[in-house]
């Protein structure tokens, strides 16, 4: 099996000020971070430049969203080219808050994935079922459909990380158990094997998000198909360092 580098993303969401993010960044820059782990911080758009200029170069910067066009009359949107121009190399797309708070459709998420990849951004593509979907037993259908639409828009899987974030686990403290996370990650890898290729199934990182903390990260990280995390609330706290070092 190809070696998959552990990746931990901090999704700061709509939080922070230059002062508080500056403190967070200083803590990251001066902590012992396991070198084998790839670290990405997803900053609010307006702080992309700030985050890139302050963060140690070994930590990458991501935007939390982007639009599907290069430029034009799209008030309030930003393009992958602008993200790159600020020195960020990644974008988070299809986050559950974009899908369910802002009503982004599967189709739009797919178009954004294609456009971001065209502009050479790494894409952290998020998928995940709602509580009622899990309870109705449709988790597989939901995440496979979401993955299918993403896959139709990917021309280079080397630039894509899949983030499985069950909606019921985001910001709720109801972390998926290691078994629940592993079960879905394993099925996603089988889906990639059947629908894309063995090579992609072996090499694509599938990271877990949803109430990851310093206390639960090690057990989750020990699962065979959990290749990292996308962390919300805990990425704003010093314990983010423990999560980065979950495999240490
Ligand atoms: P929490 O870690 O706050 O549950 O958020 C997860 C998330 O949405 C990361 O993108």
Residue nearest atom 1 of ligand 1, based on CA coordinates: 232
**Do residues 162 and 147 touch, judged by C-beta distance below 8 A?**
yes
Burial-class residue 118 by CB neighbours within 10 Å (0-12, 13-18, 19+).
middle
pLDDT attached to residue 1: 44
Average pLDDT, stretch 149-167? 98
Atom index in ligand 1 nearest the CA of residue 163 equals 10
**Do residues 160 and 154 touch, judged by C-beta distance below 8 A?**
yes
Residue nearest atom 5 of ligand 1, based on CA coordinates: 232
Rounded CA separation 181/160 (Å): 19
Q: Locate 102 and state its tokens.
A: 């802002």
Predicted confidence (pLDDT) per residue in 193-233, tens digit: 999 999 999 999 999 999 999 999 999 999 999 999 999 99
Radius of gyration of the chain (CA): 17
Atom index in ligand 1 nearest the CA of residue 212 equals 2
Neighbours of 25 (CB within 10 A): 22
Kindly list the catalytic residues: 95, 165
Residues 6+ apart with CB under 8 A from 131: 167, 168
Predicted confidence (pLDDT) per residue in 94-137, tens digit: 999 999 999 999 999 999 999 999 999 999 999 999 999 999 99
Q: For residue 182, how far is its CA from the centre of ligand 1 (angstroms)? A: 18
pLDDT attached to residue 2: 44
pLDDT attached to residue 118: 98
Average pLDDT, stretch 58-75? 98
**Do residues 242 and 20 touch, judged by C-beta distance below 8 A?**
no
Q: Output the ligand 1 site: residues, CB below 6 A.
A: 11, 95, 165, 170-171, 209-212, 230-234
pLDDT attached to residue 248: 86
Atom index in ligand 1 nearest the CA of residue 230 equals 9
Rounded CA separation 232/9 (Å): 9
Predicted confidence (pLDDT) per residue in 2-55, tens digit: 489 999 999 999 999 999 999 999 999 999 999 999 999 999 999 999 999 999
Among residues 74, 83, 101, the alpha carbon closest in space to that of 13 is found at 101
**Do residues 20 and 43 touch, judged by C-beta distance below 8 A?**
no
Predicted confidence (pLDDT) per residue in 31-46, tens digit: 999 999 999 999 999 9
**Which domains does the chain possess?**
7-244 (3.20.20.70)
Reported pTM:
0.98
Among residues 248, 247, 237, 222, the alpha carbon closest in space to that of 10 is found at 237
Rounded CA separation 176/165 (Å): 9
Q: For residue 221, how far is its CA from the centre of ligand 1 (angstroms)? A: 16
Q: For residue 181, how far is its CA from the centre of ligand 1 (angstroms)? A: 14
Q: For residue 213, how far is its CA from the centre of ligand 1 (angstroms)? A: 10
DSSP H helices, the chain, are 18-29, 48-54, 80-85, 96-100, 106-118, 131-135, 139-151, 178-195, 198-203, 217-221, 240-244
Integer angstrom CA distances of residue 176 from 47, 105, 120: 31, 25, 32
Rounded CA separation 212/218 (Å): 10
Average pLDDT, stretch 65-89? 98
């Amino acid at each position: 099996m190809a070696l998959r580098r552990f990746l931990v993303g901090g999704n700061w969401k709509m939080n922070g000020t230059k002062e508080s993010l500056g403190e967070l960044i200083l803590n990251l820059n001066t902590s012992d971070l396991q070198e084998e782990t790839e670290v990405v911080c997803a900053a609010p758009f307006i702080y992309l430049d700030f985050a890139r200029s302050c963060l140690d170069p070994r930590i990458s910067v991501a935007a939390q969203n982007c639009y599907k066009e290069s430029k034009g009359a799209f008030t309030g949107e930003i393009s992958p080219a602008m993200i790159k121009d600020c020195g960020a190399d990644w974008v988070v797309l299809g986050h559950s808050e974009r899908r369910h708070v802002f009503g982004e459709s599967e189709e739009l998420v797919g178009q954004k994935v294609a456009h971001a990849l065209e502009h050479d951004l790494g894409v952290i593509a998020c998928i995940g079922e709602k509580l009622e979907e899990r309870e109705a037993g449709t988790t597989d259908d939901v995440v496979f459909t979401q993955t299918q639409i993403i896959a139709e828009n990917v021309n280079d899987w080397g630039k894509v990380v899949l983030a499985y974030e069950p909606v019921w686990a985001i910001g709720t403290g109801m972390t998926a158990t290691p078994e629940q996370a592993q079960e879905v990650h394993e099925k996603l890898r089988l889906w990639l094997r059947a629908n894309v290729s063995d090579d992609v199934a072996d090499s694509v990182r599938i990271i877990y998000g949803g109430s990851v903390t310093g206390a639960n990260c090690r057990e989750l990280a020990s699962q065979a198909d959990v290749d990292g995390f996308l962390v919300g609330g805990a990425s704003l706290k010093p314990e983010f360092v423990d999560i980065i070092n979950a495999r240490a």
